[in-house]
Amino acid sequence: MKVITFILSLAISFNTFASDTNPAKDLLLKMANAVHTRNFDASFVVVKGKTMEPYRWVHAKQGDIEIEHLSLLNGAGLEMVRVDNQVTYFEPQSEPYSLTTDSIAGPIPEVLFKNVERLSNHYDFVLGGKGRISGRAAQLVRIESKDEDKYNYWIWLDMESSLLLKAAYVNHQGEALEQLQLTHISVTEQPASMLLEILNRNFPTPLPNNSLETLSSNTAKTWKIDWLPAGFELLKSDRHKLDLNNELTDYYLFSDGFVEVSVFIQRPLPGKRLSGSLTSGATTVYVHNGGNFDVSVVGNIPSLAAKKIAESVIRAL
Amino acid sequence: MIKAHVNRLDDESLSALLDGEQQLADAKIAEQDVATFGRYALIGDAMRAQKDHSDIHIDISKRVALALESEPVYADFSQSKAQSAPQSDTINDNKVVVFNWRKPVAQLAIAASVAMFAIVGVNMLPQGDGAQQSEIPLLQTTPFTGIASPVSYSSEPALKNAENGLRELQQQRIGALVLEHQRQARVAHSLEAAQTDAKKTEEKN
């Protein structure tokens, strides 16, 4: 009898152990590790509908220091440099600025370079099929949203180096909305000399992180956002002027750890205003005419979710 | 009219004076603008230079230096806040200059990002077969590659003109919102880290 219970308990404990280790999640963790420890030089393109953006991505690990450089190669460009925990953004027409964070906010969701565990409540990790991407053997890992208010993200990983080869935002009809495809990657023993040179340069000091103070500002009390997709939390709210047209806006930033959503509440534009959604790749812009105010929702979420958020905004009195 | 006429007369006499056709009078020179005097002198030099090539002297160094001083500097962080603080020369030498933006191109990029979201109309008709999609009015966007040809405003009725103006306003706003979202999203993860840290310390206390 004792032997049977022992075997039974062993079987149960083995079962729980088996359900804890998700091979898809393991692969993602391996990828995050590879992206942080390897020396590589890669090129990729991001395809959003009819537009295409080419990037170059170089990473090095020199001793304990990580150096990373991501640049947009078309148009006026955009350059992002990371030295350990400091990321500096060089954008056309504005002063460069630095942030204290351990990954670049580029076209690849940042959470993929960290611990994906925190997404478990709202996303499932599923192992997909094998295939050939960028001339290499690849394994598909699907990050599937548990509800229809968020997009799925599919990611193809190199079976040899665990590095990322392809990724796509996929809607619930199974259509890829925005794709990222590596065209070339070389993994080297030694870090690229171009990156080592960056170590000798000075970057702007990171902006102060006064986020937690702005949370208690008046804006949070002015408006009530009644509905958000599951898992989204408020990161900041304030009132500021937009850079491009100098318009004043009440601003809210939400994130579920995977994607960010911005909510803008503004003075209404005169005349008959159009309500509706615009999309570019996975990015949705939903413009809502709220009567005395205009609400705009921007983020990588389905337009129906954006519409629901925009329409749930009410004046809190 | 009258003033212009008087000025021309004065200039004539000055010109004559410089060409040696008139007697020099101190009061007359004092009356003239020094700059005008210099200019006429230069014209005279240039005309006479055909015989003797050596004697034209145009000093533009001052103006070049001035122009250089007001020339905008790109990707120079020491200019903003850093400059007000005392900084040693060795630090200044390490400026990041690899990333050197050229302004005209930058303007093009901003325009392009806005054009990407330019609205050309609203389609209220059901889109495709998806039941949920049909509930949402889709604002139609111009494709990035083939931007719609500009409309001739002069031939448009006034009402439509006003409508176009409004649409432009909305387009501008959407462009600004998308840019702002991109920038704010970059801050998101450092904010998130700060918030989870704050929560942890709260739990400990």
Nearest-by-Cβ selection for B174 from A90, A201, A278: A278
CA angle, corner B116, sides to B110 and B121, nearest 5? Answer: 130
Q: Burial, A141: exposed, middle or buried (Cβ in 10 Å; 0-12, 13-18, 19+)?
A: buried
For residue A209, the model assigns a pLDDT of 62
The per-residue pLDDT for range A167-187, each reduced to its tens digit, is 999 999 999 999 999 999 999
- Tell me the mean pLDDT in the region A146-173: 94
Per-residue pLDDT band for B86 (boundaries 50, 70, 90) equals very low
Answer whether residue B149 is part of any domain: no
Statement: residue B97 has pLDDT above 90? no
**Whole-number pLDDT of residue B142:** 47
- Whether A246 has a pLDDT exceeding 70, the answer reads yes
- Asked if the structure places residue B122 within a domain, the reply is no
Work out the mean pLDDT of chain B and round it to a whole number: 60
Give the model's pLDDT for residue B84.
41
- Which residues in chain A are closer than 8 Å to B198, comparing Cβ atoms? 212
pLDDT classification of A230: cutoffs 50, 70, 90? very high
The pTM of this model reads: 0.69
Identify the CATH number of the domain in which residue B16 sits: 1.10.10
The residue among A87, A52, A91, A53 whose CA lies nearest residue A69 is A87
Domain boundary among B19, B49, B70: B70
pLDDT of residue B172: 81
**Which segment of A43-52, A256-265, B143-152 scores lowest on mean pLDDT?**
B143-152
Q: Which residue of A has its CA nearest to B123?
A: A276
How does DSSP classify residue A204?
P
If you search the block for the tokens 């901003």, which residue do you land on? B110
Which of B18, B44, B70 terminates a domain? The answer is B70
Domains recognised in chain A with CATH numbers: 23-199 (2.50.20.10), 219-315 (3.30.200.100)
Q: Look at residue B29 and tell me if it is in a domain.
A: yes
The verdict on residue B62 lying in a domain is yes
CA distance A294 to A126: 39
The more confident residue out of B22 and B107 is B22
List of chain B residues whose C-beta atoms are within 8 Å of the C-beta of residue A241:
none
Whether B95 is in a domain gets the answer no
Task: Average the pLDDT over each of A153-157, A284-288, B91-95, B183-187 and give the range with the smallest value.
Answer: B91-95
Query: In which domain, by residue range, is B179 found?
Result: 161-204
Nearest CA in chain A to B192: A235
**Does residue B113 lie within any of the structural domains?**
no
Q: Per the CB < 8 Å rule, is A105 touching B141?
A: no
Q: Which residue in chain A is spatially nearest to B97 when comparing CA positions?
A: A201
Of B70, B86, B108, the last residue of a domain is B70
Residue with tokens 């050596």: B54
Q: Which pLDDT value is given to residue A151?
A: 96
Please check whether residue B89 lies inside any domain of the structure: no
Q: Collect all residues of chain B within an 8 Å Cβ-Cβ radius of residue A266.
A: 173
Q: How many CA atoms lie within 13 A of A86 on its CB side?
A: 16
pLDDT of residue B8: 56
Q: Ranked by mean pLDDT, which of A6-10, A271-275, B125-129 comes out on top?
A: A271-275
Token duo for residue A50: 């009819």
Check B172 against A245: CB less than 8 A apart: yes
For B27-75, the pLDDT digits (tens) are 566 666 666 767 777 777 777 666 555 555 666 677 777 777 776 665 5
Q: Going along chain A, which residue ranges are E strands?
A: 39-48, 51-62, 65-72, 78-83, 86-90, 97-100, 123-133, 136-145, 152-158, 164-170, 176-188, 223-225, 233-241, 248-255, 260-266, 276-280, 283-289, 294-299, 313-315
Asked if the structure places residue B86 within a domain, the reply is: no
Taken in order A310, A53, A152, B146, the sign of the CA dihedral is: positive
> What is the tally of structural domains in chain B?
2
Residue of A4 and B147 predicted with greater confidence: A4
Do A277 and B137 lie within an 8 Å CB cutoff? yes
A182/A155 Cα distance (integer angstroms): 12
User: What's the pLDDT score for residue B10?
Assistant: 60
Amino acid code (one letter) for A308: K
As beta bridge partners, residue A241 has: A248
Contact criterion met (CB below 8 Å) for A297 and A263: yes
